[in-house]
Chains A and B, each alone.
Chain A
Amino acid sequence: AALNDGLRSQVSAALKEGRVTPTELCQRCLALIKSTKFLNAYITVAEETALKQAEESEKRYKRGQPLGILDGIPIAVKDNFNTAGIETTCASNMLKGYISPYNATVVQKLLDHGAVLLGKTNLDEFAMGSGSTDGVFGPVRNPWSYSKQYKEKSVPRSHSEDEESNWVITGGSSGGSAAAVSSFTCFAALGSDTGGSTRNPAAHCGVVGLKPTYGLISRHGLIPLVNSMDVPGILTRCVDDAAVLLGSLAGHDPKDSTTIQDEFKPFELPNLTDVSKLSIGIPKEYHAPGLSSEIVALWSKAADLFKNAGAKVVEVSLPHTRYSIVCYHVLCTAEVASNMARFDGLEYGHRSDMKDSTESMYAATRREGFNDVVRGRILSGNYFLLKQNYEKYFVKAQKVRRLIANDFVKVFRSGVDVLLTPTTLSDAAPYMEFIQEDNRTRSAQDDILTQAANMAGLPAISVPTALSERGLPVGLQFIGRSFQEKQLLTVAKWFEKQVQFPVIQLEEVKRHDNGVFQHQKSASFS
């Protein structure tokens, strides 16, 4: 089997028929991880345990009793999910060396389905950021930086310029997971999404990024950023695979009181041929300032694609969109300030050597353990939560949040099935350019198209659409109704089929898998 095969359609069959074994898959991925180390996508590679898991999986296949489609499939997990026995750092000094005693529910579910846990992926510290550049283990590099497609389009440079300095970011904060999937080192990865942290890097790395409805997938074991907006995110190479992952992860968890009680029924995605009954909404406010003309054109083309296929495409309005950044900032920092209060060095994690008093120990621990981004958000958040500010900021923001959520309710009530928007303002920026602005500015800019879905708790998915003029991936986003993932993914799958996004041409991948370029298609959409 080739590394880019769909799980349900190809890999599963190959494993069942013994054409490839879990151990082989695992070894291939581990080798590829090693040869793509320069991407810095992984913080921890759990080689030993992964091979053991693969071995167990192999035994099951030999007995003819695999646990399901995910049995033996190598998966990577963002390093803000608790994994028992494997370091969980959140890319922070605060948790360097922290070995959690328990598995996050989603991790446990993957393991229960036989998945092979390759390792923990890199991120912005505590998931705060939109570039995966601000973690203590350094930035993640977008695999597309090294792709033939990108190199071909790069302006020829003088010898003095280092090729290295031209690499582009993955986006964030689940950049490690996106890069891992994009570079074929795993078949799927878990990310998290609070303001776009799964969809943003998915778009920049040319992979599928799914943000499920809030309350559908358990957050138990996901180290929280904003409890009322966080969801575990799913990163895969095709929409079908996202549906497979969703099927194994969704459902009520008694350990997470914010998950819904309703029973979740895993589904297979139909191959939609007739879109005439579909109504696609184009929110005009998503024509945001700073949106590149390239992406506007792509967005427009996508709308036409639906129209020409017989779907109803309407312009809609989400009037409170422009308040969402500020609203998000207040609510996010307030919850961050609260969630980070537990990091005091007393029970676990980094503890400062400062011993003068409990207070001084706490202060030094937190100064040493957190980067500037985290500390900045804690200070902001505490400011907004002060008694004298609470009504003005926090309560006000909650009210605005309600208005933003209601915008979506109204639009969906008017008959629109799914919204179509860009995911990002442009293709991935070069790292050197990205770091010219601070984290807060970047986050405010980059989250604009994705965070409203988090505020409203709605499901959203970024689908790789085409390559930009610079040869980098651009994705478009679909936002669906609450708990209507099946409809959302069905539409996304149809769109994916239409656009035929090209496979990344990476030297390293080519070396490790002869089958990859058999399915190569030229970019038909851009």
Chain B
Amino acid sequence: LAPWIPVVGLEIHAQISSNSKLFSGSQVQFAAPPNSLVSFFDASLPGTLPVLNRRCVEAAVMTGLALNCSINKKSLFDRKHYFYADLPAGYQITQQRVPIAVNGSLSYSLCIDNKMSQMVTKTVRIKQIQLEQDSGKSLHDDSRCQTLVDLNRAGVGLMEVVMEPDMCCGEEAAAAVRELQLILQTLGSSQAVMAEGQLRVDANVSVHHPGEPYGVRTEVKNINSIRFLAKAVDYEIQRQIEELENGGTILNETRAFDSKLGCTVPMRDKEGKQDYRFMPEPNLPPLILYDAKSLPANMNHQQVINIDWIHERLPDLPSVKREKLVEQYGILPEHSFTLLNEDGLAEFFESVVKQTQMKPKRVIGWILNDVLSYLKQHSLTVKESPVSSFVLADLLNLLEKKEISSTAAKQVLAELWKGEGKTPLDIVKEQKLELLQDQKELEQICQAVIDGHENEVIMMVLG
């Protein structure tokens, strides 16, 4: 059988982290009472007009720069029309013709094997980033034959990030999204928490034989976590391969991922292709962005966005942070990935290193093996850790000064997790874990043991 090449592209919607919505002043807040964050514009009251939120534009520019995109100095807004209960105006304002950023790239890393011992770097092209409105939420109450509509989310700003089909499996898709998530969180442009709907991923999957054109692709939706993303993509690849090998065809359809069953199923709602009747949004002039060169001298600074100014103020991206950690502390690249992957862990590590004489290369083992595994076991975040960096540093100092053994240190740590407020020294004293440093005393103890076990000694001397 000829080999199959799976092709995976992603459409990611990241909710912009801002106080108010993309085109109106109502608040952005998760889990507020239904329809409590709805302005006249959000409710599509006749006569209301969109007013662009500056913060949202800045977030998109930051994200575009972080993803190596060209920022379009002039971008346009369009209306995308369709009828749905969660779309009050009957159209979504988006950027179909000329989006705010194009032609970027995202680098991400994968482990070759399962042991995190060898990492390989891959790149996925970013086709574009566009600003658009989020829709409201509708809940279908079939028992009462009604639909409940909550418009709190209607109009919240989204960045749609389109990743080209450069990925080949669930693992790559997951890694790429994870890296994007970290970047967004570092920038602050989106909190990107999938569980809160701040990051939504749709996967486009197809398979083909080498040398042949790309196969028909399906779109997979309803993916609620990065773990499920990998599962959904891999399942769909497998499904398509099996279908084709059995002589079937792939439909260009939208499928939903069922996390309980671990498979994708066709989605009911789509009947035929939608014509969105795109039209320029007449109430919003073209969005003009400036850089240091093009910025007119007498412009009101409140009214303009300077791309270079934003570029200068970008924080260190995850990839840079990792490089710095590796360089500064001599840890392995894999270690730097784990440190950044866990919210607050890198800061915790650096804090410990500052407070202890133990070499970072040794500290990292404690962080990754002992601290992290405990936190994971008990579903705690770094912030919630009962053992602070100060306390851990204290313990490691005892170890470093050889006042306790490595085994003893692990015992003390186990006790520290109880969070009873005792210091490592307190526990060492309590459990009499001090290492004897006195040579004479040690000799006496050893002699006593040997004296007390004459027969065993003779056996050992005889071989």
Residues of A with Cβ closer than 8 Å to B?
81-82, 88, 90, 95, 100-102, 104, 219-224, 226-228, 254-258, 261, 334-335, 337-338, 340-344, 346-348, 355, 358-359, 362, 382, 385-387, 390, 394
B81 proximity list for chain A (CB < 8 A): 338, 341, 385
Given contacts A256-B49, A347-B88, list 13 more A-B pairs with CB under 8 A. A81-B47, A100-B46, A101-B40, A222-B47, A254-B51, A255-B51, A257-B49, A335-B279, A335-B282, A342-B46, A343-B46, A346-B88, A347-B45
User: Nearest-CB distance from A341 to chain B (Å)?
Assistant: 3
User: Nearest-CB distance from B163 to chain A (Å)?
Assistant: 25
A390 in contact with B278 (CB, 8 Å): yes
Return the chain B residue nearest A254 by Cβ: B51
Return the chain A residue nearest B79 by Cβ: A338
CB of B344 closer than 8 Å to a CB of A:
no
Contact of A257 (CB < 8 Å), options: B43, B90, B285: B285
A344 in contact with B90 (CB, 8 Å): yes
CB of B112 closer than 8 Å to a CB of A:
no
Complex-state Cα separation, A144 to B334, whole angstroms: 88
A100 proximity list for chain B (CB < 8 A): 45-47
User: Nearest-CB distance from A511 to chain B (Å)?
Assistant: 38
B285 proximity list for chain A (CB < 8 A): 257-258
B40 in contact with A257 (CB, 8 Å): no
CB of B249 closer than 8 Å to a CB of A:
no
A-B pairs with lowest CB-CB distance, top 5: A341-B90, A385-B277, A227-B282, A228-B282, A342-B44
B284 proximity list for chain A (CB < 8 A): 257
Known: A257-B285, A258-B283. A104 touches B47 (CB 8 A): yes
User: Nearest-CB distance from B126 to chain A (Å)?
Assistant: 26
Complex-state Cα separation, A32 to B145, whole angstroms: 52
A343 proximity list for chain B (CB < 8 A): 46
B275 in contact with A359 (CB, 8 Å): no
Interface residues on B, range: 20 to 34
User: Nearest-CB distance from A375 to chain B (Å)?
Assistant: 15
Complex-state Cα separation, A387 to B151, whole angstroms: 29
A102 in contact with B275 (CB, 8 Å): no
B48 in contact with A362 (CB, 8 Å): no
**Which of B91, B147, B279, B285 has the most chain A CB atoms closer than 10 A to its own CB?**
B279
Return the chain B residue nearest A337 by Cβ: B277
Complex-state Cα separation, A343 to B46, whole angstroms: 9
Supply 14 A–B pairs (Cβ within 8 Å), ascending by A: A81-B47, A82-B46, A90-B46, A100-B46, A224-B46, A257-B51, A257-B284, A335-B282, A338-B81, A338-B90, A341-B89, A355-B145, A359-B83, A387-B277
Complex-state Cα separation, A90 to B45, whole angstroms: 13
B46 in contact with A223 (CB, 8 Å): yes
A257 proximity list for chain B (CB < 8 A): 49-52, 283-285
Complex-state Cα separation, A387 to B96, whole angstroms: 13
Contact of A220 (CB < 8 Å), options: B49, B275, B277: B49
B45 in contact with A227 (CB, 8 Å): no
A102 in contact with B49 (CB, 8 Å): no
B40 in contact with A102 (CB, 8 Å): yes
B151 proximity list for chain A (CB < 8 A): 347
A342 in contact with B278 (CB, 8 Å): no
A224 in contact with B279 (CB, 8 Å): no
User: Nearest-CB distance from B251 to chain A (Å)?
Assistant: 21
Return the CB mask of B273-294 against A: 1 if under 8 Å, else 0: 0011111001111000000000
CB of B149 closer than 8 Å to a CB of A:
yes
Complex-state Cα separation, A90 to B47, whole angstroms: 11
CB of B433 closer than 8 Å to a CB of A:
no
A347 proximity list for chain B (CB < 8 A): 43-45, 88, 151
CB of B427 closer than 8 Å to a CB of A:
no
B49 in contact with A255 (CB, 8 Å): yes
CB of B85 closer than 8 Å to a CB of A:
yes
User: Nearest-CB distance from A93 to chain B (Å)?
Assistant: 14
Within 8 A of A (CB), among B126-184: 145, 147, 149, 151
Contact of A348 (CB < 8 Å), options: B45, B51, B52, B91: B45
Known: A101-B45, A257-B51. A341 touches B91 (CB 8 A): yes
Return the chain B residue nearest A362 by Cβ: B83
**Which of B89, B90, B284 has the most chain A CB atoms closer than 10 A to its own CB?**
B90
Return the CB mask of B46-67 against A: 1 if under 8 Å, else 0: 1111111000000000000000
B84 proximity list for chain A (CB < 8 A): 358
A254 proximity list for chain B (CB < 8 A): 51
Return the chain B residue nearest A224 by Cβ: B47
Complex-state Cα separation, A27 to B46, whole angstroms: 32
A358 in contact with B47 (CB, 8 Å): no
Return the chain A residue nearest B276 by Cβ: A387
Known: A255-B49, A257-B284, A338-B91. A348 touches B43 (CB 8 A): yes
Complex-state Cα separation, A257 to B53, whole angstroms: 12
Complex-state Cα separation, A340 to B89, whole angstroms: 8
A382 in contact with B40 (CB, 8 Å): no
B91 proximity list for chain A (CB < 8 A): 338, 341
B88 proximity list for chain A (CB < 8 A): 342, 344, 346-347
User: Nearest-CB distance from B281 to chain A (Å)?
Assistant: 9
Known: A95-B46, A348-B45, A358-B147. A341 touches B83 (CB 8 A): yes
Complex-state Cα separation, A101 to B43, whole angstroms: 12
B90 proximity list for chain A (CB < 8 A): 338, 340-342, 344
Complex-state Cα separation, A358 to B88, whole angstroms: 13
A335 proximity list for chain B (CB < 8 A): 279, 282
Within 8 A of A (CB), among B53-106: 79, 81, 83-85, 88-91
User: Nearest-CB distance from A25 to chain B (Å)?
Assistant: 29
B46 in contact with A227 (CB, 8 Å): no
User: Nearest-CB distance from A228 to chain B (Å)?
Assistant: 4
User: Nearest-CB distance from B91 to chain A (Å)?
Assistant: 6
B279 in contact with A385 (CB, 8 Å): yes
Complex-state Cα separation, A257 to B22, whole angstroms: 14
A82 in contact with B277 (CB, 8 Å): no
A355 proximity list for chain B (CB < 8 A): 145
A256 proximity list for chain B (CB < 8 A): 49, 283
User: Nearest-CB distance from B136 to chain A (Å)?
Assistant: 10
A338 in contact with B45 (CB, 8 Å): no
Return the chain B residue nearest A356 by Cβ: B145
Complex-state Cα separation, A81 to B47, whole angstroms: 8
Complex-state Cα separation, A90 to B46, whole angstroms: 10
Complex-state Cα separation, A257 to B303, whole angstroms: 12
User: Nearest-CB distance from B57 to chain A (Å)?
Assistant: 13
Complex-state Cα separation, A95 to B46, whole angstroms: 10
User: Nearest-CB distance from B127 to chain A (Å)?
Assistant: 20
A385 in contact with B46 (CB, 8 Å): no
Return the chain B residue nearest A226 by Cβ: B282
B45 proximity list for chain A (CB < 8 A): 82, 100-102, 347-348
